[in-house]
Structure 1
Amino acid sequence: MCRLPRLLPLTLLSLSAALLLAACAPAPIFKPGSSIANVPPETVAQAPERYIGRAVIWGGQVVAVQNMPDTTEVQILGYPLDSSQRPLPNSPAGGRFIAIMKGYVEPLNYPAGALVTLTGHVEGVRVGSVGDASYAFPLV
């Protein structure tokens, strides 16, 4: 007796389930390219002249939002990103950075503790402080 006809529906069901699960994996938020600098914020803070103008994809946890007259600055504690470009907050932090956005940004849309991912170009470094310690913040 041939078992193939009985196994065929089970095989097709298993294959379909595997394909459906693979399709559920989230795609990256931004398209990485060869022009993207794959460096953490702390590396840029140490040698900003090497990275000014370079594109980065960074993510992390919102620390604070400050609205200025023409821009909004979001201070972010950087974390490594997973394959879908989502921050991994249980990993060691990669330094803080400031995301500069044009215009007014509602602070309640970026509450402290929210996880974000962004892309932009390194514009330089600003020396500020974290508590009483001096700190160099890369600007994106």
Structure 2
Amino acid sequence: MPTGSGISKGLLAGVLALLLAGCASTIPEPIRQPPTDAPTLEQARADVEEYRGTTVRWGGTLLAVENRAEGARLEILARPLESSGRPESADASPGRFVADMDGVADPALFTLGHEITVVGRLDGLVQGRIGDYTYDYPRVVIQHHYLWQPRIQRPDPVGCDPWYDPWYDPWHYRTWPYRRYPCW
């Protein structure tokens, strides 16, 4: 029969295991880790034949989803990626690319404007149109993809500080009305 000390050690080990499991990332490893020597979108568009067959990790915003008999095609407005692989919420973009995947892209999940990161093999260029303009899209055959949760929109922090006193703040380097505090 175990002693009280043995039970408490087992309980402590169980609690630690649960805590560590809760800290584990749900983002797949290929999305978190960029492939070595992967070309950027600009490099791929400039000389696609040099990089054909290489593995790339690109991401951005979904612009169009087309479910076809041979699989789904995603049109993505590329964005620079954060270290986690998530597309940055920046106004700058190096261009567009298409990503082909097996199966169906469920329209309830793959909604327009959603952020996505894909890892796959670069497979040449596909001609398409943006309005009246002919555009050469680099084509990626998806091996892994990750749809990101929508970003939380935070309110503008002006006037959110509950301790704000416009008449007393002699040591603060920002003074009224230019003070901006985060909303807690």
Counterparts of 2:71 and 2:91 in 1: how far apart (Å)?
30
**2:129 corresponds to:** 129
SS of residue in 2 equivalent to 1:107: coil
Counterparts of 1:118 and 1:38 in 2: how far apart (Å)?
14
Unaligned runs of 5+ in 2: 1-22, 141-184
- Residue identity opposite 2:32 in structure 1: F
Q: Does the 8 Å contact 2:67/2:73 carry over to 1?
A: yes
* Identical columns (%): 34
Instruction: Give how far 1:76 is off.
Output: 0.2
**Distance verdict in 2 for CA 1:30–1:83, change over 3 Å:** closer
Among 26, 29, 32, the residue aligned to 1:30: 32
- Residue identity opposite 2:50 in structure 1: R
SS of residue in 2 equivalent to 1:43: helix
SS of residue in 1 equivalent to 2:108: helix
Instruction: Give how far 1:91 is off.
Output: 4.4
**1:51 corresponds to:** 51
TM-score where L is the length of structure 2: 0.57
Q: Does the 8 Å contact 2:57/2:117 carry over to 1?
A: yes
Residues 57-79 of structure 1 show CA distances to partners (whole Å, capped at 9, x for unaligned) of: 00000000001102100000000
Instruction: Give how far 1:50 is off.
Output: 1.1
Count of aligned residue pairs for this structure pair: 116
Which structure has the larger Rg over C-alpha atoms?
2
Counterparts of 1:25 and 1:68 in 2: how far apart (Å)?
33
**Distance verdict in 2 for CA 1:26–1:108, change over 3 Å:** closer
TM-score where L is the length of structure 1: 0.74
Unaligned runs of 5+ in 1: 1-22
SS of residue in 2 equivalent to 1:50: helix
- Residue identity opposite 2:71 in structure 1: T
Counterparts of 1:103 and 1:25 in 2: how far apart (Å)?
26
**1:11 corresponds to:** none
In the TM superposition, structure 1's runs of 4+ consecutive aligned residues that sit over 4 Å from their partners are 23-28
Instruction: Give how far 1:45 is off.
Output: 1.9
- Residue identity opposite 1:61 in structure 2: T
| Residue 15 of structure 2 is aligned to residue 39 of structure 1 | no
**2:163 corresponds to:** none
Instruction: Give how far 1:30 is off.
Output: 3.1
Q: Does the 8 Å contact 1:80/1:91 carry over to 2?
A: no
**2:139 corresponds to:** 139
Instruction: Give how far 1:44 is off.
Output: 1.2
Residues 96-134 of structure 1 show CA distances to partners (whole Å, capped at 9, x for unaligned) of: 000100111212211110001110010110111111111
